[in-house]
Structure formats: structure tokens, C-alpha cells
Amino acid sequence: MNLGDILHVENVVPDLKALTRWEAIDELVSNLVATGQIKTEHRDAVTGAVRKRENSMSTGIGFGVGIPHASTDLIHEITGAFGRSKAGVQFDALDNEPVHLVMLLLVPQGQFQKHLHTLAGIAKLLHNRNVRTALQQAAKAEEILGIIREPDKI
């Protein structure tokens, strides 16, 4: 499963307000609640699962990219939200640089292989400098999603 299959335009936040990784996670989880991807009553539990994973090791992988993720039994299909921060988010990334592109990924409990394959695909896509540059320069959510779905057209 690739990132373009997971995201919907309403789950792309082209102007994250967050300044820290915790705020970014909260903002993206709130987006998933607002768009009906996560039930309101599950917000705290889902946020807690992502925070627990993030506390074990930052998912700021470098190159201005963060991929906070978690498995939870509170969802039934892979879901996620993508956020872009022009100012940058303090993410405790491996390269100690601010993160500008944040992909929150949630995978149903027990789907370990799908979790790993999806994470690998996201990392591969966002490792491409041309893709990152295009995502940072895109004007609106629809453009961001178009780049994610068809990176070869950049």
C-alpha cells in the first residue's frame, strides 16, 4: 500500500501550526477525528499510542521528514494524515534539523507486515529530494496530494 492510497485531500494539512513533534501529532490526530477517520472518543487513546511509539525513538528520519506512527486496535484500515510546516517543527530528528513534512500513519493492530511495507514506501517517497522540494513548494492540499500520488510527474 502506498501513501497515495492512504491519504485523502481532507487529510492533507498544508500549513501545520505545530512547533513541536507533540503538537504536530496532536494536530494531525485532530484532523483524523475531524474528518471521521478516528472516532472522537478514541482521540486520546490513539494519540497515546503514537506518543508511546515516539517516546521510544523519534521518527524524525532526517531530511526534514517525520513519520510518527503506531498500531492500534481502534481503527480497521490503514489511515493517516500529512502535514507540512513552512517554519519547521522541532522533532528531535536524527539529523537535529527541523521537520517540514510530517506523515502520521496508523495501522490496525496485528498488521505488522503491512505496517513495515507502508512505512518503507513512505520513507522511500520522502527520501527523494525532488519530491520533498515539490511538496514544500506546493500551493495547496490538492497539489500536495497530486505529488504524493504521482511523484514521477514532477
Q: Can you tell me the mean pLDDT for 127-139?
A: 96
Q: What is the pTM of this model?
A: 0.94
The closest of 100, 95, 106, 22 to 66, measured between CA atoms, is: 100
Please give the helix or strand (H or E) that residue 77 lies within, else none: none
- What one-letter code names the amino acid at 130? N
Cα–Cα distance, 83 to 144 (Å, whole number): 10
At a CB cut-off of 8 Å and minimum separation 6, what does 127 contact? Answer: 63, 65
Q: What is the pLDDT of residues 34-80, one digit of tens each?
A: 999 999 999 999 999 999 999 999 999 999 999 999 999 999 999 99
At a CB cut-off of 8 Å and minimum separation 6, what does 143 contact? Answer: none
pLDDT of res. 63: 96
Instruction: Give me 76's grid cell.
Output: 480497521
pLDDT of res. 154: 85
User: Could you tell me the pLDDT band of residue 1, with boundaries at 50, 70 and 90?
Assistant: low
CA distances from 116 to 12, 27, 99 (A): 22, 24, 22
Hey, is 106 helix, strand or coil? strand
Q: What is the pLDDT of residues 80-131, one digit of tens each?
A: 999 999 999 999 999 999 999 999 999 999 998 988 999 999 999 999 999 9
Considering 69, 76, 100, 117, which one is annotated as catalytic?
A: 69
User: Could you tell me the pLDDT band of residue 3, with boundaries at 50, 70 and 90?
Assistant: confident
Contact call for residues 34 and 72 (beta carbons, < 8 A): no
Domains in the chain (CATH in brackets) are 3-149 (3.40.930.10)
Instruction: Give me 4's grid cell.
Output: 497515495
pLDDT of res. 128: 95
Is residue 100 annotated as part of the catalytic site, yes or no? no
Contact call for residues 15 and 84 (beta carbons, < 8 A): yes
Neighbours of 136 (CB within 10 A): 14
